[in-house]
Amino acid sequence: MAKSAPEWRSSVSSRVSLARGLHSMVVSCSSQTPVHSSSPHFHADMDPPTPPLSDPTHKDQSVPPLPVAAPRKQVRLQERRGSNVSLVLDVSSLGAVEPLCSISTPRETILHLLRTSKRPLTAPQLQDAAAQTDTLDKEYQKIPPNFINSSELDIPGHAVKDRYKTILPNPETRVCLQNPVAAGKGGGYINANYIRGYGDAEKTYIATQGPMVNTVEDFWEMVWQEKSRIIVMITELKEKKEKCVLYWPEREGQFGRFVVRVAALKECDGYTIRVLNLQVGSESRVVRHYWYSSWLDHQTPDCAGPLLRLVQDVQESREALTPPGPTVVHCSAGIGRTGCFIASSIGCLQLQHTGQVDVLGTVSQLRLDRGGMIQTTEQYQFLYLTLAMYSRQLSPSDPGSDRRALGDQHSAAAPAAPQSQGHSPL
């Protein structure tokens, strides 16, 4: 029958006490009768001395040593099981180990998707794709918007120069004003980005918001600094609320250090062209201003004809300038209608030069340069329809058809409206 715990402890204690007593007697006797190391045998009536209990080399000891409990370390609350403190392991003694796989951050994943998203289409494939609205909706929803958080812009006071607090310029491509006076007013900040064009050509466009009362001087400063010769405006001044302030004069006006004069005006089918003289001191430049006012915010035009004519008109003006400087494009926020115009321009050049177009890749590229370009699914579908219309106008058998395709539309346009009094015709 098994002994209880108290009985077992008592038995062990008795045996230990007896062993210690015998050991004391042996030590006492050995001190009175020494044993010489030269003697081959012990005394006949004496047993060999029992080694001390603490001697670990004695294999025959029958009484185990008393277990000595290790001192317990006081455990803090955060070290107890169930705490939220991560366990740190020292793996330096494990030898060679396989390197850990790198973990992509959400930001890196977004940039990777935008850089690698492609869907090149031939002209027939483009026609089919433009009719598949559900597929286009899914395709659009998968494109990361790449909006910028205000914490990523380390520019004190930039908010007063932003028309919309959630539409901010990507830091990597934003335009910085270099003029000391303009830079001193707000760190050279303007809500604008350089945008790549066809073939990844750097700084082909500048996408920006509609100027505000307190940013008109900055706007003209940017136009002057970048030597831009073309401005494309795709918004009304007011659509229920202010979308853009009037930043050019009726005839002549002063904006900071800039004098702006309207030299000529022409009404086209869907848009208006103004030729402006921009002057600083004794130096002046000619800037062409295109105003497409019939496209309302968050909507799409009834037809693509006026937009295609505008795209072709602007492209022909760019090719006539050496160098043209970046084409400045703005709507209200600088991402929706602005993105549609730039994407249409790039897509038309793709079709002209390669016979193919990559709408998905183009929009992804635009969003790398400025977040949120092409603002709605409807705008994305309209972009497909616009390029599909343009591809139908191109005849592969006629090398000159790419020029005449939009020229025919110009000839079919309504007669130009009478010129405003005091302005020269173009």
CB atoms within 10 A of CB 166: 12
CA distance 314 to 219: 20
Q: Is 188 annotated as a binding residue?
A: no
CA distance 206 to 373: 12
Q: Is 332 annotated as a binding residue?
A: yes
336 known ligand binder: yes
Distance CA 169, CA 163 (A): 12
User: Which of 244, 268, 331, 340 does the annotation list as catalytic?
Assistant: 331
Q: Is the peptide bond before 323 cis (omega within 30 degrees of 0)?
A: yes
SS (H, E, C) the chain: CCCCHHHHHHHHHHHHHHHHHHHHHHHHHHHHCCCCCCCCCCCCCCCCCCCCCCCCCCCCCCCCCCCCCCCCCCCCHHHCCCCCCCCCCCCHHHCCCCCCCCCCCHHHHHHHHHHHCCCCEEHHHHHHHHCCHHHHHHHHHCCCCCCCCHHHCCCCCHHHHCCCCCCCCCCCCEEECCCHHHHHHHCCEEEEEEECCHHHCCCCEEEECCCCCCCHHHHHHHHHHCCCCEEEECCCCEECEECCCCCCCCCEEEECCEEEEEEEEEECCCCEEEEEEEEECCEEEEEEEEECCCCCCCCCCCCCHHHHHHHHHHHHHHHHCCCCCCEEEECCCCCCHHHHHHHHHHHHHHHHHHCEECHHHHHHHHHHHCCCCCCCHHHHHHHHHHHHHHHHHCCCCCCCHHHHHHHHHHHHCCCCCCCCCCCECC
CB 210 within 8 A of CB 235: yes
State yes or no: 347 annotated in a binding site. Answer: no
Asked if residue 334 belongs to a known ligand binding site, the reply is yes
Active site residue 348: no
Q: Read off the amino acid at residue 390.
A: Y
CB 181 within 8 A of CB 221: no
Q: Report whether 207 belongs to an annotated binding site.
A: no
331 is in an annotated binding site: yes
Instruction: Detail the residues annotated as belonging to a binding site.
Output: 297, 331-337, 375
Instruction: Detail the residues annotated as belonging to a binding site for substrate.
Output: 297, 331-337, 375
Residues designated catalytic: 331
